[in-house]
Chains A and B, each alone.
Chain A
Amino acid sequence: MAEQPPTVMLAEPRAASVANLEGELSALWRSASEEPSTRDALTRSCALTLLVYVESEAEGREVNDLIGAVTAQNPCRVIILIGEPLGSPPGLSATVSAHCHLPEPGAKQVCCEQITLHARGTSVENIDNVTLPLIVSGLPVHLWWRAGRFAPPAHFDQILRVADHVMLDSARFPNPEADLRMLAARLETGVETLKITDLNWARITPWRELVAQCFDHPARRPFLDRLTDVRMAYEAESPRVLTQRSQAMLLTGWLASRLKWEFAERRVEGSAEFFVFRDGEREIRIEREARQFDGAGCGVCFTLDLRADGAAPATFTFSRGPDGAVVQTRAEVPGSGPVGRTVRLEVMDEVAILNEELKVVGRDHVYEEAVRMAARMVASA
């Protein structure tokens, strides 16, 4: 578990002519290889193209600060696209730079190139023309959609055509219900050939894993088919209330879709929502409530109770510890004492998640089904 090596900028980003960006990059490398302090100590590395789309200069700067930690794990050419359709005066500008890090002492520094394109006003429509030639040939193309709902405008069509993978973040959805429904519709129509993944889904992966793990043992497996009640609470008063809300929707959507429950109805009472599902004869109720948490404000803030009623009742609970870094789990099943444990809850930051997402191969059908179920559950909201 070595620390990630620090990443440094090779030089100050330099303004570049949009017409000759490859030439500008070559010039950057030439000057680095002539500079005595870096001569023979650098090597360029690239395993993919990472396009990042943001909608303001400030967000562009945020990404710029994060990206070094991404290139250290996933060497790539980064192209940051800042699209401000309402910006003025209209025009396109660009800068080139490089991030370097030392993989191990004594080795050469590994450097990755970055191009930042800033389009204002009507020039946003040229983004694809400028971007396409900069994509590294023969290597995968990932698009990080770091901007609100996923509704790419027409001038993104050509970029989406060459992209292999879009990473969006449902935590940034301004209206989780409507935006998830929109995403679900996109996935439903079957026209979507892109691999779409969601950073917010990755945030709840440790939770999915904990819940899944609880039923790995063959003796526990049958309880899944006898669940009757699910109660989940998520953080209400938080600056990240949208994040929490879409996470809660995804987690319940996941549970219901994995267990093939059929959605029947939804009812709202105050801050709580009640959902009814059916599985053959059995009725399953999910209660989802936003409430206050002690020590809230970081990580995924949930409690989750699963109950199987009937002849041999069992309960499985997962509750977030007050410091946000641990989860207490507890299982009570007939014929054995309660087994509990405290589990470290990994709170992954954006970069850590992105680094994982870049390794994903293939479409995530489980996610897609969870989105569709989550959308169905709020169809009337």
Chain B
Amino acid sequence: MADTSVLPNPLREGIRLHRTPEPCAMVIFGASGDLTKRKLIPALYYLYREHMLPAGLSVIGCARTPATDESFRKELSDAVRNFLHLGSESDAFVKSFGEGIFYITDNFSDQKAYDQLKLLLGRLDRERGTCGNRLFYLATPPSFFPVIVKHLGATGLAKPQVPGRSWTRIILEKPFGRSLATAQELNRVVTSVFDEEQVFRIDHYLGKETVQNLIVFRFANGIFEPFWNRRYIDHVQLAVAEELGVENRGSYYEEAGLVRDMIQNHVLQLLSLVAMEPPAAFEATAVRDEKAKVLKSIRPIPDDRVNDFTVRGQYAAGFVGGQKVPDYRSEPKVSATSATETYAALKLSIDNWRWADVPFYLRSGKRLPKRVSEISIQFRRVPHLLFQGAGGEGIEPNVLSLRIQPNEGISLKFCAKLPGTTMQIRPVQMEFRYGESFGAVPPTAYETLLLDCMLGDATLFNRDDAVEIAWKLMDPILERWQQDGAKGLAFYEAGTWGPAMADALIERDGRKWIRL
């Protein structure tokens, strides 16, 4: 008889929703932390509630804080209720979700805990049908990644339990290293135990609906791609602005700074999606090959010219949202002489046929006037001005803006004639907003990414080469700034669009920051 187990499930056909992943055991290291409660468990619960997860899916939490299965279940069901704002969710249902949750107390360096984990995983395979599939989620401070990975390897948990029939994957949270050397070292440790195909480096920005929309926008529409090159585009701007300051993450931020926190990962990811060549398919290898390729084409900034291509700033006291806010150096757990940047602007060039001579201006900062992430493509001016002296002053270049958040949407600025008998020209805006055309609420980034990982789809995760290339680009900048210390740091009032030097960076080229 034919082996029917390899045939597709005939009952699945025509069911519009997702494929459900195979049952698996998800092991969360750092399960007592903020990320687990605020993001992971609510996302899992949501998926479970929407029937996107299989029966038998089990979660094992590992962290230092002593707890029991019972107390941990209670804690997580409270988190589910708090963060998902569930009203009268059926108790039976929350309870059923809880039955698949277990806890192991672990300081991450004690072999006994891993032996216990191995036993529990075996038991879940038998009792809950998890079939040898395991997903390890490292939600701990990154300093623990190596020790956890090594122990998983030593305990024999890193390789698929039933080769060819079951899978083992690992998700690593950001930050992935703090320089090229540390990222390479971490990659070395991780890939000495896991194969690269097993490794899922999460960048939650990539899980955002509008970031995926960017790919659809470029490659599902025939009218944009022909213009998407140096012949028509003058320059590209990427902005990720936040209203918030460092909040209570002062000690983390002092170590990181804006470039490590935002640019090395999120902003460069956006850039690679905007600038990459069309991939052969919407599939992990093809997409990630193209992203890596375009990142590799970015011209490195020479260490002696860092100040020509970058500006860094730190916020001084000011007003945000009508509230007086302190300067960065007065934030909790921040040094009074800190030289950490909370703002950065960069000019990058991509050395390839498509983008030669098209600068990419990147800026990101904390304590800016509003929260907004936007990609703006500014087109070249018309080659010849017909309307000189006759209202032609109003002519501005076309700008295509892709807004990631908030009010996700796309707008195009173009010129129109003011009504009347004289020839007067003004820019007008053509707008498309996702919220106005699609009322449905999209899933959150973690829901998308967790499900993708369980299904083995790595398209929206970072590959080792891309992470390293991004660090390689940022390293010279970070080293130069480190050497210069507070010298060269520009201060900007909180609630303004960054230091004046940043304006100079772009105005030198005869261009301006787009008003956000």
Interface residues of A (CB under 8 A from B): 1-2, 4, 43, 45, 47, 72-75, 103-104, 107, 110, 205-206, 208-219, 221-222, 224-225, 255, 258-260, 321, 323, 325-326, 329, 331, 336-337, 339-344, 346, 355, 360, 364-367
| Most B Cβ at <10 Å: residue of A208, A216, A364 | A216
Q: Please determine whether B406 and A339 come into contact, CB atoms closer than 8 angstroms.
A: no
- The reply to whether B51 and A206 form a contact with Cβ atoms under 8 Å apart is yes
C-alpha spacing A210/B22, complex, angstroms: 14
Kindly state the separation between the CA atoms of A325 and B49 in the bound complex, as whole angstroms. Answer: 11
Residue pair B51, A73 in contact (C-beta under 8 Å): no
Q: Is the CB of B51 within 8 A of A221?
A: no
Q: Does B386 contact A (CB under 8 A)?
A: no
B13 with A73: CB separation less than 8 A = no
User: Which residues of A sit under 8 angstroms from B46, Cβ to Cβ?
Assistant: 1
Q: Does B304 contact A (CB under 8 A)?
A: no
Max chain A Cβ within 10 angstroms of own Cβ: one of B11, B92, B126, B433 = B11
- Choose one: A225, A342, A344; the contact of B4 (CB below 8 Å): A225
In the complex, the answer to whether A221 meets B14 with C-beta atoms within 8 Å is no
Since A107-B433, A364-B14 are in contact, a sample of 18 more A-B pairs with Cβ atoms closer than 8 Å, ordered by chain A residue number, is: A1-B441, A75-B436, A107-B435, A110-B435, A205-B16, A209-B15, A209-B17, A216-B20, A217-B129, A221-B4, A221-B7, A325-B90, A326-B90, A326-B96, A336-B129, A342-B95, A343-B96, A366-B15
- The answer to whether A213 touches B55 (Cβ under 8 A) is yes
> Is B421 engaged at the interface, CB distance under 8 Å to the other chain?
no
- Chain B residues, CB < 8 A from A323: 90, 92
| Contact A205 to B435, CB < 8 A, known contacts A221-B9, A325-B93 | no
Contact check, A224 vs B407: say whether CB atoms are below 8 A apart: no
**Contact of B231 with A by CB under 8 A:** no
Contact A216-B4, Cβ < 8 Å, known A72-B439, A75-B436, A104-B407:
no
A326-B90, A337-B126 known; A342+B96 contact, CB < 8 A: yes
CB < 8 Å neighbour of A103 from B50, B54, B127, B435: B435
B6 within 8 A of A: yes
Which residues from chain B contact A103 at a C-beta distance below 8 Å? 433, 435-436, 439
A-B contacts, 11 of them at CB < 8 A, read: A1-B84, A43-B436, A72-B439, A104-B406, A216-B12, A219-B5, A258-B13, A326-B90, A339-B127, A339-B129, A341-B96
Residue of A nearest to B438 (CB): A73
Report the minimum CB–CB distance from A302 to chain B (whole Å): 16
B93 and A213 within 8 A (CB): no
Q: How far is the CB of B308 from chain A (nearest CB, A)?
A: 39
Residue picked from A1, A104, A205, A219, most chain B C-beta under 10 Å: A1
* CB of B56 within 8 Å of the partner chain: yes
- B139 interface residue per 8 A CB criterion: no
Q: B186 to chain A: closest CB distance in Å?
A: 34
Contact B439 A210 (CB under 8 A): no
* Known A-B contacts A225-B4, A342-B92, A343-B96; A213 and B20 likewise in contact (beta carbons under 8 Å): yes
What is the chain B residue whose CB lies nearest that of A370?
Answer: B14
CA distance A241 to B83 in the complex (A): 39
